[in-house]
Amino acid sequence: MLRITTPILKIFFTSFISVLLFFLLIQSLPCKGQSKEKNFILTGRIAGMDGRYLFFSYRGLGNDRLWDSTIVKHGRFQFQGTISQPAKSLLTILETNRTSTVDPNVTTPLFIEPAKMSIVLILNHFRSAKLVGSKSQNEFMELENSKKSINRQRDPLIFQWDELNEEFEKKNAAGANDSLSPIIKKIDLLNSKIASLNNWEFRVDKAFFKKHPNSYITVYKIVDDIRHFTLAQMKSYYKRMSPSVQQSEYGKDLSVDILKMSVGEPGTIASSFRGKEINGDSINLSDFKGKYVLLDFWASWCKPCRAGNPELKKLYLEYRDKGIEFIGLASDNKSIDKWKAAVEVDGIGIWKQALMGDIGDLYHIEGLPTKIIIDPHGKIIWRDGENSETKETLPVKLKRLFDK
């Protein structure tokens, strides 16, 4: 984050001119703590809603999420408030639970700016609304329109995935193990198709970021989809942003995310932790100093984690006597019985197993499975998982370390 500090005067009032120039200089600098708040006014029209409420949610100064409401009169309404930058907002009809709806018929996301804006809404067709007066909204719609084909193909696949996953959970809970394999195959096929579309969407996003490096939509999308970016990508995008975007609220969020993701990355010292093994014994990372350690972050409910356990067992048996210790850290704090059952069924109790708890925060674990290798000096030398930048698979990395 860029910071501009006020220079200290070494000479007090030498002349009227020097004093005047000093204060003019101070006024021209964006000093730390200087207020940048500005007002917005959003006026709109909608038919068929007289006497009913509209609700408007937006990010105010700082991180505060504000809700406002107004009654439509003679087909017209107005919202106004104070913001410091372009910000995502939500215009919706919500008469009860106003934080849970995602119905596109009565809800539309908007990017408002510190300006006078206008909008025309059509009842039950809110997503067709046109916001006038916001450059950020124009850029947001440019990006959304470029992904319409992707969404048309992906939405029905996600619906099928949800149905199959619900069917899997019901049969798994009923103990109908013989019928799970066909469902898993269908889910895997859908995962592959969805992943392909997600990659397509990511390419579209990156093209937009390249075209609009200083757009608030760019920094918002990176922060909103932070799990899809590697640390190197985030640093690269942040570096190309203008100081004003870097110092915006979204820019500050991104700089914090960059700092968080730097934790647990290759080249950094592994954070020490204590825990309890599945058998109740204490476990302390510092006890393994002088050996390589593989941390396996997983969960009993994580299908890719479970699918990779046979290979992990093979690698453990091959390398356990060559100076490496495996430690499984499961995200099953609320499902301990399922965790213990998974360890037994998968046969991975041959290496140390403990619950992840807060340990995941020490290594910025955002997705499962994630695997990390720590060298005998306590330094992280390899990481694989979501946002990973490594091109080395675990078998290749272990072979390079021990088969010399």
Output the average pLDDT for the chain. Answer: 86
Which residues, 6+ apart, have CB-to-CB distance to 275 below 8 Å?
282, 283, 284, 329, 354, 355, 357, 359
pLDDT tens-digit readout, 187-206: 999 999 999 999 999 999 99
Q: How far apart are CA 92 and CA 104, in angstroms?
A: 9
pLDDT tens-digit readout, 203-227: 999 999 999 999 999 999 999 988 7
pLDDT value of position 148: 94
Domain containing 307 equals 274-402
- Could you tell me if 178 and 232 lie in one domain? yes
- Could you tell me if 258 and 282 lie in one domain? no
Q: How far apart are CA 387 and CA 396, in angstroms?
A: 19
Which of 262, 294, 320 lies at the terminal end of a domain, its last residue?
Answer: 262
pLDDT tens-digit readout, 45-77: 999 999 999 999 998 876 688 999 999 999 999
Instruction: Work out how many domains the chain is built from and give that number.
Output: 3
Flag whether 352 is in a domain: yes
For residue 33, the SS3 value is coil
CATH assignment of the domain containing 68: 2.60.40
Flag whether 393 is in a domain: yes
Alpha-carbon distance values, 147 to 129, 195, 328, 385 (Å): 18, 15, 39, 26
Q: To the nearest 10°, the Cα dihedral for 150, 152, 157, 163? A: 140
Flag whether 14 is in a domain: no
Flag whether 2 is in a domain: no
**Predicted structure pTM score:** 0.67
Neighbours of 171 (CB within 10 A): 15
| Type of residue at 87 | A
Neighbours of 120 (CB within 10 A): 13
